[in-house]
Structure 1
Amino acid sequence: MARPIAKDHSEKRAHILRIAARVFADGGIARASMAQVAEACGISKANIYHYYDSKDALVFDILDSYLRTLRDRLAQLDRQGENPASQLLRFVNETLLAYEGMDAEHQIQTDGIASLGCKEQEILKSYQRDMVVQLGDILRFCAPPNLVGTKAGLKATTMSVFGMLNWFYMWNRNATQVDRTRYAEHVTALVLGRTSA
């Protein structure tokens, strides 16, 4: 008979994901073990295998949860009635706000995705592509034509915006929401060629 799912299964799973992300970020995914994750979570090694049958499954769930949630948060922004410049500011600001408190999850993306199988990689990369397409659709209608007038230019501008946001995340992890909003205004002004947003 299958073991019944505990009432607090979802809460425990969420706890494991957050702690495991920190363990992987601190020690590196390749070096960290499931035993280390279990110890950091305050549970037995046997218990963690009740939730995840392998380290790859755990890494995938961390990144799937993080990237899917981020993608959905940005996709659900209500842009109706806003001009493209305002849409850009909202998208950039919302991205920076979404990064708050997600340092470990954000940090392990590159190594984490590369460590997984092709099927899992494709799922995670699809979330990233969706966000790139969404931002590109906004930039196409508000950025200067010399930046986005070609497919290559649009891609370069889109990825440069994400690069600026990731720089801010790397060097300003303790930034307040006000700091994040100010930087969003700064990025928007740079992209639009204005002295202020």
Structure 2
Amino acid sequence: MARPKAKDHDDKRNMILSTAAAVFAKTGIAGTSMNDVAKACGISKPNIYHYCGSKNELVFVILDTYLSALKDRISSLDLSGKTAQEQLGALTTEFLLAYDGMDNEHKIQTEGVPLLPIEQQTILKGYQRDMVQIMANTIAACAPDDMANNPAKCRDVTMSVFGMLNWFYLWSPGADETKRLAYAQTVTDLVLNGMNGPSDP
């Protein structure tokens, strides 16, 4: 007979995922054991295995939970009625707001994804690819014809935008919503206008 799920199962699982992400982000995935995660969570090591059968499974669940929710949030963003330029501003803003409070999950992607089996990597990279495509399509719609018709150049600009957005947490730790909105405007202005003519929010 299957063991019934405890009433606090989901809350406990979310606590484990959040705590494990913080530990992995601080000491690295390779340098962290399941015993380290259990201690940080304040529970026994066998209890950890009740929720995730291995460290790699834990890493996958953390990243799958984070990236699938992020992809859903970006994909469901209502951009109707906006110009291409306004859509770009809305996208950069939504990414930075979605990243708020998720620095640990965001940070461990680089180390975590390559450690996983190919089929799990494919799932996670699929979320990332979908979000990159949304941004690329929006940038292409904003671009002059010579760039919009140059996929390589459009890709370079797209990945440069993600470079600015994805590393924001390093130089602005603990940034509040006001700072995130301001930086989203800066990124948008840089893409659309270069160094000339930054607009006020």
TM range (shorter): over 0.9
Structure 2 unaligned residues grouped into runs of 5+: none
Cα distance, 1:147 vs structure 2 = 4.1
- Counterpart for residue 120 of structure 1: 120
Distance 1:146 1:135 in 2: 18
Cα distance, 1:169 vs structure 2 = 2.0
- Counterpart for residue 104 of structure 2: 104
Q: Structure 1: which amino acid aligns with 2:197?
A: T
Contact 2:140 2:147 in 1 (8 A): no
Q: Structure 2: which amino acid aligns with 1:92?
A: T
- Counterpart for residue 73 of structure 1: 73
Distance 2:183 2:146 in 1: 23
Distance 2:7 2:144 in 1: 54
Structure 1 unaligned residues grouped into runs of 5+: none
Contact 2:88 2:138 in 1 (8 A): yes
Percent sequence identity is 53
- Counterpart for residue 197 of structure 2: 195
- Per the normalisation by structure 2, the TM-score is 0.94
Cα distance, 1:56 vs structure 2 = 0.6
- Corresponding position: 1:36 with 2:3: no
Q: Structure 2: which amino acid aligns with 1:196?
A: P
Q: Structure 1: which amino acid aligns with 2:59?
A: V
Distance 1:144 1:65 in 2: 37
- Counterpart for residue 10 of structure 1: 10
Cα distance, 1:161 vs structure 2 = 0.4
Distance 2:102 2:147 in 1: 31
- Corresponding position: 1:168 with 2:168: yes
RMSD (CA atoms): 1.1
Q: How does 1:41-190 map to 2 (within 5 A)?
A: 41-190=41-190
Distance 2:38 2:167 in 1: 32
Distance 1:87 1:106 in 2: 23
Distance 2:104 2:52 in 1: 19
Contact 1:144 1:192 in 2 (8 A): no
Contact 1:96 1:169 in 2 (8 A): no
Contact 1:64 1:124 in 2 (8 A): yes
- Per the normalisation by structure 1, the TM-score is 0.96
Contact 2:84 2:141 in 1 (8 A): yes
Cα distance, 1:178 vs structure 2 = 0.7
Cα distance, 1:146 vs structure 2 = 4.6
